A and B are shown apart, each in its own frame.
Chain A
Amino acid sequence: MSGLKMKDLRKSFGAVDVIKGVDLEIEHGEFVVFVGPSGCGKSTLLRMTAGLEDITSGELWIGDQLCNDVEPRDRGIAMVFQSYALYPHMTVAENFGFSLTLARAPKEERERKVMDAAKILQMEHLLDRKPSQLSGGQRQRVAIGRAIVRQPEVFLFDEPLSNLDAALRVDMRMELSKLHQQLGATMIYVTHDQIEAMTLADRIVVLNGGEVQQQGAPIDLYNSPANLFVAGFIGSPKMNFTKVKVRSADATSVVVGSDELVDVMVPLSGRKLNVGDELTLGIRPHVLTTDSIGALKGTVDLVERLGNETIVNFRLATGAQWLAVLSGDIVLKQGEAVNFAAESKDILLFGADGRNLATAS
């Protein structure tokens, strides 16, 4: 059984630290997705796993093998690149079988494995084509097929779907999901795309600035983000934030408020807060409703009516821009003053250090 373990992995390019100590344990057969803003080190971490970048310090275990100094070909991994990186002068079959050709595998074994991969991907009829004669989606599948043929313990994907158009991306996403169930291999997947991350992952790892911000099941990250960064990053549209002050606090709840926000009570236990502490309050656009006695006073800037829902851009008295996604078709006029409300269980509070008060220990 081969899971994967990273112990305090670090990477610097010259004087620039790009990965600053990542600890991660991945179970065998798990589908793990790395997300994070551009430049946060997702690709670098993946490439360190593949052996395409050296590890500056820390340990990388694949199965029970310490892999820091193991050549890529001996790590039991396969990688699918964003640009596919197909060998343009080889046919699909030759692309599939190239690793076996290099390993001098017997011809019949090679042909069998190529055929197996082609069947899985339903590409038997395309084996004699060159990559230039394939569509974008087909090329993508060749790249995946090349990985399958190697029968790796771990599949690595670096934004594999980002060159496809939206419709094809949805199809390929489902195919990847099926493939994962079929092969039962460990998969590590880098993406920018929220939906890909939420739908594919057993576990999402949120990276920022070369550090793991939070990891966990997609829905857990959505419901209880560990800090402001994750709260803002996971979920679309983005969570709304505003600064508030503690008005009063007791053992099970806290009352916060600010100039633009009528005091609200949020259930919160086991926290020692002082009156006057500055906190950040976060509410997801989807949980807001219009309510004439709502605590949140806003001025409507822009209304987008989509029929089944209405997206309202509004401004608080401080000038902060918020977003509400209201269900149904609701008629609001630009410049209109509207009060919004949310249930107190849907309100998140973050401390001065950015951590979620409900989850932080």
Chain B
Amino acid sequence: MAVATAGAVNAPKKSRVKDRQASMYPIWLLYPAAAIYGILFLLPTITSLYYSLTRWTLFNSEFIGFDNFIQFFQEPFLYQALINTVIFAFVTSGLKVVLGLALAVLLTSPLIARDFLRSVVFFPVLVSTVGVGITFTILMHPTEGVINETLAMIGIDGPGWLVDRNLALYSVALVDVWRGVGLATVIYIAGIVSIPADYYEASRIDGATRWQQFRHITLPLVRPAMFTVIILSFIGGLRLFDLIWTMTKGGPGFSSDVMASVVYKQYQSGFYGLSTAGNVVLFVLIAVLAVPLNMFLNRKVVTR
């Protein structure tokens, strides 16, 4: 009898368990948090959809349809920022994924001073981005910077890291990798240490080399961690502002502008509508690139 009814899908009767739950865990406990989050995050996000369709300055605002967005694809310097944002996200997340894994493998093998090395790699994550930006701006100075002076000693003519239009964006990307690879490493390490030692022992009995162990055990089993790193660093890359702003301010020219810096510049110049449209473009970019990526990667985790 019980079995026969247990399979029923529809539940027409209002379950009163909810009432019990409601009195133990009343919804009003959520109100303060919901108010802050709803008013200061969700509400502006929703109104931004409208503002992005206006020509909105200090003095007035006027509905102009999709003009702001059209501008983003027509004005070369805005379009450039769009492309730069995607390039930046791909380069930084790609490097973090690869280098983070390499460092994690290194730092999970038996080494002298392993814990110290882990700390050293991770510490930049905790340091002020502005401080990192300033430090590397000076290290990357084209003529007097430590990097190029060192290169000169071994006979290489170092490039103008931050002053070369074709290089500035990539230079900032390198610094972002330097700053963020520690987090990726730590996530990988958490993934690697959770792999049961049995697998390695069994494979050693089967005569696997270190490379084969990495290829057939570590790599597949660390995949969930890898997906986390990909998602996290990719979205972080799309949203990056502080490092670009302290190192190049989008320059030289507009060569290293990204969406976040455009949003700030347009806001500073009083083009509020355009700035907000930039924000919306960034939402869409994240939704279009990151959400499917997230779903794709999650599916792979499940079917592993």
Residues of A within 8 A of B (CB): 12-18, 52-56, 71, 209-210
User: Which chain A residues border B304 with CB–CB below 8 Å?
Assistant: none
B43 contacts the other chain (CB 8 A): no
Q: Say whether A15 contacts B10, CB under 8 Å.
A: yes
A52 touches B11 (CB 8 A): no
Task: List, sorted by A's number, 19 A–B pairs whose CB atoms are closer than 8 Å.
Answer: A12-B15, A13-B17, A14-B15, A15-B5, A15-B10, A15-B11, A15-B12, A16-B2, A16-B5, A16-B6, A16-B8, A53-B17, A54-B16, A54-B19, A54-B20, A55-B16, A56-B13, A209-B2, A210-B2
- B18-32 vs A, Cβ < 8 Å mask (1 yes, 0 no): 011001000000000
Q: Is the interface of A mostly helix, strand, loop or mixed?
A: loop
- A14 near B20 with CB under 8 A, answer no
Q: How far is the CB of B13 from chain A (nearest CB, A)?
A: 6
Q: Which residues on A sit within 8 Å (CB–CB) of B5?
A: 15-17
Residue of B nearest to A40 (CB): B2
Are A53 and B13 closer than 8 Å at their CB atoms?
no
Q: Does any Cβ of A come within 8 Å of B156's Cβ?
A: no
Chain B residues with CB below 8 A from A15, complex form: 5, 8-13
**Residues of chain B contacted by A52 (CB below 8 angstroms):** 20
Residues of B near any A CB (own CB < 8 A): 1-2, 5-6, 8-13, 15-17, 19-20, 23
In the assembled complex, the Cα of A54 lies from the Cα of B23 at a distance in Å of 11
Please indicate the chain B residues that have their CB under 8 angstroms from the CB of A18 in the complex: 2
Closest to A69 in B: B19
Complex: how many Å from CA A116 to CA B11? Answer: 49
Give A54's nearest chain B residue, CB to CB. Answer: B16
Residues of the A chain whose Cβ atoms lie less than 8 Å from the Cβ of B8:
15-16
7 further A-B pairs in the complex, CB-CB below 8 A; given A14-B13, A54-B16, A54-B19? A15-B8, A15-B11, A18-B2, A52-B20, A53-B17, A54-B17, A209-B1
Contacts of A54 in B (CB 8 A): 16-17, 19-20
Residues of B contacting A53 with CB < 8 Å?
A: 17, 20
In the complex the two chains form, what is the Cα distance from A329 to B16 in whole Å? 58
Contact status A12-B2, CB under 8 Å: no
Q: List B contacts of A12 (CB < 8 A).
A: 13, 15
CA distance A13 to B16 in the complex (A): 8
In the complex, which residue of chain A has the Cβ closest to the Cβ of B23? A71
- Given the complex of chains A and B, what is the CA–CA distance between A18 and B2 in angstroms? 7
A15 and B13 alpha carbons, distance in the complex (Å) = 7
Give the shortest distance, in Å, between B276 (CB) and chain A (any CB).
45
Tell me if B11 and A14 are in contact (CB < 8 A). Answer: yes
In whole angstroms, how far apart are the Cα atoms of A272 and B5 in the complex?
36
Closest 7 CB pairs of A and B: A14-B11, A54-B16, A15-B8, A15-B11, A54-B20, A209-B2, A16-B6
Query: What distance in Å separates the Cβ of A208 from its nearest Cβ neighbour in chain B?
Result: 9
Among B2, B6, B8, B16, max chain A CB count under 10 A is at: B2
CB of A59 to closest CB in B, whole Å: 15
- Closest chain B CB from A77 CB (angstroms): 15
- Measured between beta carbons, the chain B residues less than 8 angstroms from A209 are 1-2
Complex Cα gap A12–B23 (Å): 19
| A16 contacts across to B, CB distance below 8 A | 2, 5-6, 8
In the assembly, what is the distance between CA of A209 and CA of B5, in Å?
Answer: 12
- Determine the chain B residues whose CB is within 8 A of the CB of A55 once the complex forms: 16
Q: Please, which residues of chain A bring their CB within 8 A of the CB of B19?
A: 54
Alpha-carbon distance between A12 and B15 when the two chains are bound, in angstroms: 7
